[in-house]
Amino acid sequence: MKRKKIVGKWLLATSLSAAMIGGGLTLPVHPVSANELSQQVEDGQVAKEFLSLVKDQKWNEIYQLFNGNLQKYYSKEEVPQIFQGLTATFGKIQTFNVQSNVNNGIHNKVTMLVTAELGPFSFVVNVDKSGKVDDFHTEMATDPNQFSNPSYNHPENYSEKQIQVGEGEFALPGILTVPKGEGPFPVVVLVHGSGPNDMDETAYGFKPFRDIAVGLANKGVAVLRYDKRTNTHALKSSKDPKFSIMEETVLDANLAVSALKSVPEVDAKNIYVLGHSQGGYALPLILDNDKNHEIKGAIGVAGPTGKFHELLLWQMEQSIKRAEGMKAPQEQIDQAKMELEVYKSQFSMLDNPNYNKDHIPAEFQLQPAYWWFDLRDYQPSELIKKQDTPMLFLQGNKDIQVPAEQLENWKTALKGHDNVQFRSYPDMMHFLVNIKGEANGVTEYSTPGNVAPELIDDVATWVKTGSLEEQEHVDLSIFKDYKKDAYWSEAFEWAVNHGIIKGFAKEQLLKPNQPMTESQYLNVFLRYTLGQDLKDESVKNLYTLAKSYELPVTGKSNHVVTRGEAAILLVKSFTDKKMTEKEAIQWLYDHQIVNGYTDKKGNNPKNYQSYQAKKPITRADLVTMFYRVQSM
């Protein structure tokens, strides 16, 4: 979960610091009519005019562009205060241009990329059907091209439609991703982490909710994701004096579940809720508020179990320790320590039994103050004990925001419940992406990636069958040719324990240097891609599936695949792009999937010759490539 800012007044910049939200890829969900296109163009002009007035500080004219909803919450005199944080954070606006303009069913959502004195940012304006501004907020400036398309995304296997969550002035835009084929399908509602998240839960170079939606849809499970209330209605929400986690997260999650009851494509008796981070933290409240018992099962992913403010202090303390270990500039460390002391001082008031949500001290600066005091005594691990809904809890072991021990806390709280399962992932970080090496809070957040396919496999299996097979960790030291420090050892451990490749049990060998045939390559690729859904591993079925993926195979099952052919296959498998052998090899170099062989001087020139394209691809080489691709 991410840090909230200390603010005296509500600031536009809060949404940037609280969630690091970016603009990004929006999947088209319906054809745009001529009238809609004309309206979008007009609304784009409204948004540009609005930001031009902000730049020139023409407060009266800005207020005239507010619709009735927004004017109900803000007076004309309050307009300059709204933009104080914007100027303080970014300085004066210099230039701006429209980055995207999307009709999401509630608004035309216009995102503009802004350059300012102190750095770029995105400014999002929600324009209503009358051409007036209903709300707006800032987001972290991002390049839409930085988000990678997951290898398991096959758009031909699903369709998407707009769904409205809730009614009235706080209605939210959503997208339902529906598998193609004969329904109705089980469906999963995705509930966001902290901060004003969009429906993809966009942050840094990640879109975890987009990944989960397309991943599950490819496995026969529908998914509903929606923009959070604090994203679509940021300004109006900030004016609620009793804004709590109920308004922020819980009520809308239950409304999303209810919205699905009348959708013909989904099975109304098989509605599941998946909460990530703060969404997992709020899961017991969502279940408690499910008065009509509409939720079939609940999935908590990287969800904390204890008090929110105690976890936040732990996060800050750990961040300082990592910064010291990485020899960060001392002034940065000192600033972080000062901020920590401020939070400790604030939380001492929060912990004071003399105060409560109806009696908040004037000195308490964390906003919204009511939110903090309302949440003060809530402990998810206590409320969850009273619930008997089937549940699945998932946790990454390389999560530095919600540590792996939290999974053990869920286990303790639910001891004796026979309809709950737990699973951990050794290489997964907070945004559900597998990473190589140790997490340090910097590298893993600055490297774009996709949700790990094994998590999607597990969620799909649990939703469709109600249970997961218990994991058995394979210790590779039982194989006589296993070498702990070999370049392929970590990759082989990952692949064997995820069922992607198997050792030769009778011989007790891994045979890392054995060349791979074409059918063996396909078997490894399809186990990686389909997971437990690959029921038929016959050669005939492997080639049938290869044809559906349009893989450039020879059709000869015993053909020994060369390293060059493997490069072409791998690039086509994971990017759906057709490349020449040299282009594919260069792609592998560019994405640090391979290093090539060293020359006589011990250097890695990383060229076509050093790749040695004509050599057979070995089990060790192929597994290592797959391991590095999934860690991208």
- Distances, alpha carbon 198 to alpha carbons 24, 104, 210, 228, 536, in Å: 10, 12, 10, 6, 39
Q: What angle do CA 466, 424, 212 make, to 5 degrees?
A: 65
Contact 251, 191 (CB under 8 A): no
pLDDT confidence of residue 514: 95
- Cα–Cα distance measured from residue 14 to residue 234, given in angstroms and rounded to the nearest whole number: 10
For 52, counting Cβ atoms within 10 Å of its Cβ (0-12 exposed, 13-18 middle, 19+ buried), the class is: middle
DSSP 432: S
Q: At a CB cut-off of 8 Å and minimum separation 6, what does 595 contact?
A: 589, 604, 606
Average pLDDT for residues 519-523, to the nearest whole number? 93
More confident residue, 440 or 43: 440
- Distances, alpha carbon 79 to alpha carbons 444, 460, 607, in Å: 39, 47, 59
Average pLDDT for residues 316-344, to the nearest whole number? 93
Q: What is the DSSP string of 567-620?
A: HHHHHHHHH-----HHHHHHHHHHTTS------TTS----SHHHHTTTSBPBHH
Q: Which residue has the tokens 């004016």?
A: 239
Q: What is the DSSP string of 239-301?
A: T-TT--HIIIIIHHHHHHHHHTTT-TTEEEEEEEEEEETHHHHTHHHHHHT-TT----EEEEE
Contact 1, 193 (CB under 8 A): yes
pLDDT confidence of residue 25: 29
* Cis amide linkage into residue 184, ω under 30° from 0: yes
Average pLDDT for residues 354-378, to the nearest whole number? 95
Handedness of CA 495, 498, 502, 508 (dihedral sign): positive
- pLDDT at residue 466 above 80? yes
pLDDT confidence of residue 587: 92
What phi and psi values does residue 216 have, to the nearest 5 degrees?
-70, -40
Q: Are strands 121-127 and 108-116 parallel, antiparallel or unpaired?
A: antiparallel
Decide: pTM greater than 0.85.
Answer: no
Half-sphere exposure of 298 (CA within 13 A, CB side): 27
- pLDDT at residue 84 above 60? yes
Q: What pLDDT digit, counting tens, does each position of 108-132 carry?
A: 999 999 999 999 999 999 999 999 9
Share of the chain above pLDDT 90, in %: 75
- Cα–Cα distance measured from residue 278 to residue 190, given in angstroms and rounded to the nearest whole number: 12
pLDDT confidence of residue 11: 27
Mean pLDDT in the chain? 89
Contact 148, 449 (CB under 8 A): yes
Q: Predicted confidence band at 40 (pLDDT cuts at 50, 70, 90)? A: low
DSSP 562: B
pLDDT confidence of residue 41: 59
Contact 152, 525 (CB under 8 A): no
DSSP 434: B
- pLDDT at residue 8 above 70? no
pLDDT confidence of residue 142: 84
Q: Predicted confidence band at 580 (pLDDT cuts at 50, 70, 90)? A: very high
Q: Which residue has the tokens 């004990």?
A: 385
pLDDT confidence of residue 599: 84
Q: Write the Ramachandran bin of 456: left for phi over 0, alpha for psi from -120 to 50, otherwise beta.
A: alpha
Contact 594, 605 (CB under 8 A): no
- pLDDT at residue 10 above 70? no
The highest-confidence range among 22-31, 240-249, 544-553, by mean pLDDT, is 240-249
Q: What pLDDT digit, counting tens, does each position of 418-451 carry?
A: 999 999 998 899 999 998 888 888 989 999 999 9
